[in-house]
Amino acid sequence: RLPDNVTFEEGALIEPLSVGIHACKRAGVTLGSKVFVSGSGPIGLVNVLVAKMMGAAAVVITDLSASRLQKAKEVGADFTIQVKNETPQEVASKVESLLGCMPEITVECTGVQACIQAGIYATRSGGTLVLVGLGSEMVTVPIVNAAVREVDIRGIFRYCNTWPVAIALLASKRINVKPLVTHRFPLEKALEAFETTKRGEGVKVMLKCDPTDYSP
Instruction: Render 124-163 in DSSP notation, one character per residue.
Output: PTT-EEEE-----SS----HHHHHHTT-EEEE--S-SS-H
- Examine residue 162 and state whether it is found in any structural domain, yes or no: no
Residues ≥6 apart with Cβ < 8 Å to 161 = none
CA distance 35 to 9: 28
Angstrom CA distances, 145 to 29, 63, 124, 134, stand at 23, 24, 11, 22
Instruction: Express each pLDDT in 9-39 by its tens digit.
Output: 999 999 999 999 999 999 999 999 999 999 9
Instruction: Express each pLDDT in 134-183 by its tens digit.
Output: 999 999 999 999 999 999 999 999 999 999 999 999 999 999 999 999 99
The residue type of 67 is: S
- Examine residue 197 and state whether it is found in any structural domain, yes or no: no
Beta strands in the chain (DSSP E): 34-38, 58-63, 79-82, 105-108, 128-131, 152-155, 181-186, 204-208
**Which of 107, 108, 103, 109 is CA-nearest to residue 122?**
103
**Which of 191, 210, 148, 181 is CA-nearest to residue 9?**
181
For the chain, what is the domain count? 1
What is the mean pLDDT of the segment spanning 199-207? 87
Q: What are phi and psi of 128, to 5 degrees?
A: -130, 130
- Examine residue 57 and state whether it is found in any structural domain, yes or no: yes
- Examine residue 58 and state whether it is found in any structural domain, yes or no: yes
- Examine residue 91 and state whether it is found in any structural domain, yes or no: yes
User: What CATH number is associated with residue 20?
Assistant: 3.40.50.720
- Examine residue 121 and state whether it is found in any structural domain, yes or no: yes
Residue 202 confidence class, pLDDT cut points 50, 70, 90: confident
- Examine residue 35 and state whether it is found in any structural domain, yes or no: yes
Task: Give the residue numbers spanning the domain of 90.
Answer: 8-155
- Confidence (pLDDT) at 200: 82
- Examine residue 193 and state whether it is found in any structural domain, yes or no: no
DSSP β-ladder status, 58-63 and 79-82: parallel
